[in-house]
Amino acid sequence: MTDEPTALEEKASPSLPQSVDLAAAFEESGVRDVLKELDDTMIGLAPVKQRIRETAALLLVDQARRQLGLATETPTLHMSFTGNPGTGKTTVALKMADLLHRLGYVRKGHLVTVTRDDLVGQYIGHTAPKTKEVLKKAMGGVLFIDEAYYLYRPENERDYGQEAIEILLQVMENNRDDLVVILAGYADRMDRFFESNPGFRSRIAHHIEFPDYTNEELLKIAEIMLSEQNYAFDPAARVAMAEYIASRRGQQHFANARSIRNALDRARLRQANRLFNEAAGPLDAAALSAIAETDIRASRVFRGGLDTDRKPAREAAE
Ligand SMILES: Nc1ncnc2c1ncn2[C@@H]1O[C@H](COP(=O)(O)OP(=O)(O)OP(=O)(O)O)[C@@H](O)[C@H]1O
């Protein structure tokens, strides 16, 4: 051991701090709060939460390294979120936007959610202005492109999607310090998209996979969603909901937590009708808040059909 400064120590200019306190940065940046909120409000998703903690750690260390003059380049923060519908991708993207904002990687921290139709025009000359308009709105925040692979349609040589892709790739490279792009969708389609579009693959540093929820997790999600609106299952309704979830999973257009949210919307509708038709006298808070077994069992899911009434195909997916 010698007292000679190391090369790295020599590199740090005297005006830079000698050390940084990562624990203090974790508290002061508010990152701890975002991670806690993620843990508290979202059921399950252990691997996703782990990846987000790791990303937060990476960024905190990146910041510390900047303070000590060890890092200068903005890290690549574009991401892909893959998983089936309703697995929480959009909700987690919102939290990610908040995290990136608190750490100073984006100026505003808002989330702009788009699909192909928001970026690609129907006629020649329409795509570039459309894509640029979306990018302008998203600057300073996170652009979330749902089902991003629809941008690429190899079967149609003159597809305008290619124009949107080229603009996106350029902005993802040149505006890395003020815009984070998250591509979302099914894992297998996203893989194929990356195979055909290596430009995207090379610009995306973080791939996060969202697993399907288990039946138990979906029941907990249902209880949380209800309690947020000051409703609750009565004990028989809870059992019915567990059965509902098991049946619904095997039916068409199952969309994890989104199917649960939609089922609860319909259960509340049935509850309101029931109360309206049956109530003879005044109703107390308990009666107005209780979802009863019949509100769940009236669903068509128990008769082998989708729990939707005269809905078009797109909505039936919900
Ligand atoms: N882990 C969870 N805990 C509680 N609620 C959840 C959870 N995951 C999702 N939700 C709720 O389920 C609904 C659908 O979630 P979200 O829109 O984030 O899913 P998604 O993966 O983006 O799906 P899609 O792209 O099909 O909309 C939202 O209302 C969200 O609040």
Give the CATH number of the domain where residue 293 resides. 1.10.8.60
Q: Are residues 85 and 140 in the same domain?
A: yes
Q: Are residues 200 and 227 in the same domain?
A: no
High-pLDDT (> 90) share of the chain, %:
69
Q: Is residue 45 within 6 Å of ligand 1 at its C-beta? A: yes
Average pLDDT, the chain: 88
Hey, which of 1-10, 13-22, 146-155, 211-220 has the most confident mean pLDDT?
A: 211-220
Which atom belonging to ligand 1 lies closest to the Cα atom of 221?
4
| Within-domain flag for 8 | no
Q: Are residues 236 and 193 in the same domain?
A: no
Q: Find tokens 């100073």 and name the residue.
A: 104
| Within-domain flag for 287 | yes
Instruction: Give the C-alpha separation, 114 to 84, whole Å.
Output: 17
Nearest to 245 by CA among 272, 273, 220: 220
Q: What sign results for the dihedral spanned by CA atoms 36, 38, 43, 48?
A: negative
| Within-domain flag for 271 | yes
Pair type for strands 142-146 and 111-114: parallel
Residue 158, judged by CB atoms within 10 A of its CB (0-12, 13-18, 19+), counts as exposed
Q: Find tokens 């068409």 and name the residue.
A: 252
Residues 6+ apart with CB under 8 A from 182: 78, 79, 80, 81, 93, 96, 142, 143, 144, 145
Q: Are residues 164 and 137 in the same domain?
A: yes
Cα 92 to averaged position of ligand 1 atoms, centre (Å): 8
Domain boundary among 158, 191, 210: 210
Q: Rounded to the nearest 10 degrees, what angle do helices 89-102 and 31-41 cross at?
A: 170
Q: Is residue 43 within 6 Å of ligand 1 at its C-beta? A: yes
Instruction: Give the C-alpha separation, 3 to 22, whole Å.
Output: 26
Q: Are residues 148 and 252 in the same domain?
A: no
pLDDT digits (tens, 9 = 90+) for 246-294: 999 999 899 999 999 999 999 999 999 999 998 788 889 999 999 999 9
How does 107-145 read in b/e, with b if 16+ C-beta sit within 10 Å? Answer: eebbbbbbbbebbbbeeeeebeebbeebbeebbebbbbb
Reported as a pLDDT band with limits 50, 70 and 90, residue 13 is low
Give the CATH number of the domain where residue 69 resides. 3.40.50.300
pLDDT digits (tens, 9 = 90+) for 142-196: 999 999 999 988 777 788 899 999 999 999 999 988 999 999 999 999 999 999 8
Q: Is the pLDDT of residue 81 over 60?
A: yes
| Within-domain flag for 224 | yes
Which atom belonging to ligand 1 lies closest to the Cα atom of 146?
25
Q: Are residues 162 and 239 in the same domain?
A: no
Q: Is residue 221 within 6 Å of ligand 1 at its C-beta? A: yes
Q: Are residues 184 and 127 in the same domain?
A: yes
Nearest to 147 by CA among 281, 314, 299: 314
High-pLDDT (> 70) share of the chain, %:
91
Cα 6 to averaged position of ligand 1 atoms, centre (Å): 50
Domain boundary among 165, 188, 210: 210
This model of the complex carries an ipTM of: 0.96
Domain boundary among 158, 186, 210: 210
Question: Total domain count for the chain?
Answer: 2
* DSSP H or E segment with residue 270: helix 256-278
| Within-domain flag for 1 | no
Q: Are residues 104 and 205 in the same domain?
A: yes
The whole domain housing 312 covers 215-316
Q: Is residue 44 within 6 Å of ligand 1 at its C-beta? A: yes
Q: Is the pLDDT of residue 223 over 50?
A: yes
Q: Is residue 95 within 6 Å of ligand 1 at its C-beta? A: no
Q: Is residue 253 within 6 Å of ligand 1 at its C-beta? A: no
